[in-house]
Structure 1
Amino acid sequence: MSRKKLLCVLLPLLISTVTELASAISLPLQPASGLYDGGVFTVEIGLGTPIQKQTLLVDTGSGSTLVFSAASNQCRVSNYGCGGGYNPVASMTSERKIGRSRKMEMGQVTFGFANVSATASGTVVRDIVYLERPELVEFAMLEHALLDFDVEGVLGLGMSTAQTQHHPTPILSTLSTLNHNGRTEYRNLFGLYFGSRRKNGLDSLDGQVFIPSLDLGVIDSEKLLSHDDLHFIPCSSPNEFQLVLSNIDLILANKARVPILNSCSRSSHSCSQSVPDVDPLSVTIDSGSPNIVLPDHIAHRLATAISPSAIFDGSLPGFRVPCTLSLSLNSVEFSFMPTSASVAVNVTVAVPELLRSLANSPATCLLDIVPSSAYNNLVPAILGTAFLSSAYTIFDLDSHQIAFAVPPYYPVAYPHLSA
């Protein structure tokens, strides 16, 4: 029997075995190992028949699902490995769409992880993908690419995927199936919850344990303090999860403000004369990056305001700071362009959530703030997991908007911020 006929037989049988879905589809996430140990997160999916388990980087900064071939250089020569990779020959349901001699239909894919910018190439493959249910989708099997993580690929959740229905990713197919199964409570959105960096994502409140998760189709009300505080912000780009950042302030323990970025577009606070007025900053919400990347002068201003002894180390990249900052009562407030004429959306990040430990350096920590020149100015501003760990983030694909909610652990871990 041909592979195409086998697909027609197997897929309906596989889908028919899926039991009734719960009120929320929540996929557990795990911190990735490798260069940025614990800085980014992965999700486990299944590929092919029989199932080949794959560990993919959860990435809202890209719009494609990319899987490393078992024969790729990531699997063969990378210091971090790939966990095995994907072998289409071992799957009865795989089907190559484009030959090796031709460029991928989606074009070349460029990664900018860490200090490395490389072009990845490979082949478009169609196979059954298992998230919560089996879906037949197309993805790129990479043969030439290197990442600084021990992963078998990237689960691209970026908006550009949502715009392209020709080659839906697993998450888009799953959301589409939910929405067309007569389950009207499901919406074309997903939520990301990473939890506190200080506890490696494991948080508890009133005996209930929250783990890092990717939530599909619904907003999990248990991961936010109040729906009243859930304000959606329109994306500034039709193809990316970009927002307009108007202000950044360091909030001291005594509630005094140290302005870092001041575009004077926030009506709830008067313009400060201590920081030159600038235009609002477009930032990409990128779960595939552990850092907060800002233009050089803003990054240095914020880092030295947090710790006057901060020293930038391009090999990390990030600022070396004393680990005593883990006891800091200061926080950083990020203000996004108002959704109405008078109200800005503010997200508060406690300074301890911006830190990561360094191997063999118990007294020195990494402050996850990076000047954009460290990435060759390819992206002027990114808010990665150093920012996202302080929120339950909702990505609305239909309305092209993002909402941030205070996570349940915050009032317990940082009671002074909610006082």
Structure 2
Amino acid sequence: MQAPAACCLFWMMVLVGTTLAVLTLDIVRGPHYYEDIDARQIEGRATITSVLYNNVSRGSYYVEVDVGTPAQRQTLFLDTGSSDTWILDSRADLCVTPRLQQRRFGGCGTTFQPSKSSTFKVAVEDAFNITYLDRTGASGDYITDTFAISGATIPALQIGLASRSSIGSGLMGIGYSVNVASNSRGNELPPFRYPNVIDKMLSSGVIKRKAYSLYLNDLSASTGSIIFGGMDTTKYHGNLLQLPVVPSRYRNGTTVFAELSVVMTSVGITGQAGNVVNFTTTGFKESVLLDSGTTFSYLDRNLVRSIYDALNVIDDTDQTGLALIDCAILANSPKLTLDYGFGGPNGMILRVPIDEVVFNLRTLLNVTEDDLPYTGFQSTCGFGIYTSDEGDDSLLGDTFLRSAYVVYDLESNQIAIGQTNFNSTTSSVIEFLANATSIPEVSGVASSAEITQTSIGGLPGVGANPTATGSGRSSTSTGPAATSSGAAAGAVNIPPLDTTVFRVLGLSIALMVMGGGMFIL
């Protein structure tokens, strides 16, 4: 498989004010942004908004932050499946070694120069060490420095400063802080836990509740959004269904909330003519991780085989690492949807349009027909659902999340989901309250479909987990390379990443302040 084309972005920012003290920075796509990267304050009601940018040609989402005094702009991949925030030292091995850059198919994007920040401090020397389950990773010191995002400033945030990395840009993890890399028994130092960026947003008054909502929008859309401390009721159809986060039980009997997983209760397809095919039976329950840091979705082998058979998908993962489908399905069956059920028979069906799962191989992965086996199709496309390795949990990545509006509440350990309202041009943001007992705008609560996930290992700092690893997924054995931006230990076991196609998260900046309570990216 060929190396992907370089990211091409240019940012144009337009300031728009409203009576709600909203400051929005719109983004326009343009040429040549970070060519060396291989893909991968307003007072009032205190809400800050940033716009998620979807670079279709790279499938990337990222956030721009400022670190240090004076500020040094950093571009970080954003990931719901991870918990550490880290940046690249300007002297990091990947950034200064051509041999490593050639091996990793690219160099570094933004980097940080500690000597130029008057607020920089080393917190714990040589303690930052994270290896993601795709076998990429980074290591160095834990530091503290001023951290600003979309006008909100967090003083002395602890983050990793990577002097060694196999990833060309830093990462902002927004999962449970129990999953930070330092809390792993696999490190040389004793495990320790520290407040991550979500914890510090709360303690510094940027938000009132450790909760956020995610709106990726459709594959062809230029923008989406993530709102810390609130949600936008115009970004989904109907109501939301509230689901309990699946707890993990470890060998020592400890039950913790470490991953943002919920129970999926059905999978099926609705055809062009409205005919419904169910691939699961009554009583089906499976834990699925909702991970914005992963490009594709990974399901049980039997489910994937049923989907492939129904849609005539060719499984070529043993050779090219790809699932291949006839591009004609987009024109012949534009109303076809893949249907994911949550909450049981009385719950909710989230429908993913076929054009969110079938994609142009050249555009997304820089793969041409010459790279592929003979398929018999006039035009061959990629398919964004792959098989989980035996024993691994299922994972719903961007090919699902673009069609779902998702609210993550890390305080009440609840996740609410609804059907995405694609390309919404209006906004109605509501704030999460500190003492709320449920997620706003929820029409149903699914408690009958609860399960407890059993881990074969131990929680970092609790059980006997050997390393700090991540939840991003890719495949040399079960699918094409995908984003690998998962988090610290206790996450899904994921096959190695083919770094020739490194899908990442990218956010542009927009500000919206709604009093001391919401932080919108």
Tell me, yes or no, whether TM beats 0.5.
yes
| Local SS of the residue matching 2:259 | coil
Counting aligned pairs with the same residue, the percent is 23
Q: What is the deviation of 1:314?
A: 5.1
Q: What is the deviation of 1:65?
A: 1.2
Q: How many residues align?
A: 343
Q: What is the deviation of 1:369?
A: 1.0
Q: What is the deviation of 1:356?
A: 2.4
Give a deviation string over 1:14-53, Cα, whole Å, max 9, x none.
Answer: xxxx3315564221222369xxx53341111111112111
- Alpha-carbon separation, structure 2, partners of 1:410 and 1:303: 29
Give a deviation string over 1:77-131, Cα, whole Å, max 9, x none.
Answer: 232332132222221111111223xx33xxx42213xxx4245322111011111
- Partner in structure 2 of residue 157 of structure 1: 174
Amino acid at match of 1:257: V
Q: What is the deviation of 1:410?
A: 7.6
- Alpha-carbon separation, structure 2, partners of 1:128 and 1:117: 30
- Alpha-carbon separation, structure 1, partners of 2:175 and 2:304: 25
| Local SS of the residue matching 2:309 | helix
Trace 1:264-279 onto structure 2 (pairs within 5 A).
264-265=282-283
Q: What is the deviation of 1:287?
A: 0.6
- Alpha-carbon separation, structure 2, partners of 1:120 and 1:285: 23
| Local SS of the residue matching 1:304 | helix
- Partner in structure 2 of residue 90 of structure 1: 116
Q: What is the deviation of 1:354?
A: 0.8
- Alpha-carbon separation, structure 2, partners of 1:156 and 1:59: 5
Relative contact order (alpha carbons < 8 A, sep ≥ 6): 1 or 2 greater? 2
| Local SS of the residue matching 2:246 | coil
Q: State whether structure 2 residue 385 is matched by structure 1 residue 369.
A: yes
- Partner in structure 2 of residue 177 of structure 1: 204
RMSD of equivalent CA atoms = 2.8
Gaps of 5+ in 1: 1-17, 181-185, 203-210, 266-278, 413-419
- Partner in structure 2 of residue 385 of structure 1: 398
In terms of mean alpha carbon deviation, does 119-128 or 240-249 score higher?
A: 119-128
Q: State whether structure 2 residue 89 is matched by structure 1 residue 79.
A: no
Please say if residues 97 and 123 of structure 1, whose CA atoms lie closer than 8 Å, have aligned partners that are also in contact.
yes
Please say if residues 160 and 240 of structure 1, whose CA atoms lie closer than 8 Å, have aligned partners that are also in contact.
no
- Partner in structure 2 of residue 12 of structure 1: none
Give a deviation string over 1:297-341, Cα, whole Å, max 9, x none.
Answer: 322322332x21423335764411122233332111111244xxx
- Partner in structure 2 of residue 354 of structure 1: 357
- Partner in structure 2 of residue 240 of structure 1: 259
- Alpha-carbon separation, structure 2, partners of 1:90 and 1:32: 32
- Alpha-carbon separation, structure 2, partners of 1:244 and 1:40: 27
Q: State whether structure 2 residue 54 is matched by structure 1 residue 31.
A: yes
- Partner in structure 2 of residue 311 of structure 1: 315
Amino acid at match of 1:387: F
Trace 1:9-408 onto structure 2 (pairs within 5 A).
18-21=41-44, 24-31=47-54, 37-76=57-96, 77=101, 78-100=104-126, 103-104=127-128, 108-112=129-133, 116-132=134-150, 133-136=152-155, 137-147=157-167, 152-160=169-177, 167-178=194-205, 186-197=208-219, 199=220, 201-202=221-222, 211-226=223-238, 229-237=239-247, 238-262=257-281, 264-265=282-283, 280-305=285-310, 307-313=311-317, 317-327=321-331, 328=333, 329-338=335-344, 343-359=346-362, 361=368, 363-373=379-389, 379-408=392-421
Gaps of 5+ in 2: 1-40, 184-191, 248-256, 370-378, 426-521
Amino acid at match of 1:233: L
- Alpha-carbon separation, structure 2, partners of 1:314 and 1:171: 39
Runs of 4+ residues deviating >3 angstroms: 21-24, 160-166, 175-180, 313-318
- Alpha-carbon separation, structure 2, partners of 1:297 and 1:325: 22
Question: Structure 1 residues 370 and 94, CA, compared in 2 at 3 Å: closer, same or farther?
Answer: same
TM-score w.r.t. length of structure 1? 0.74
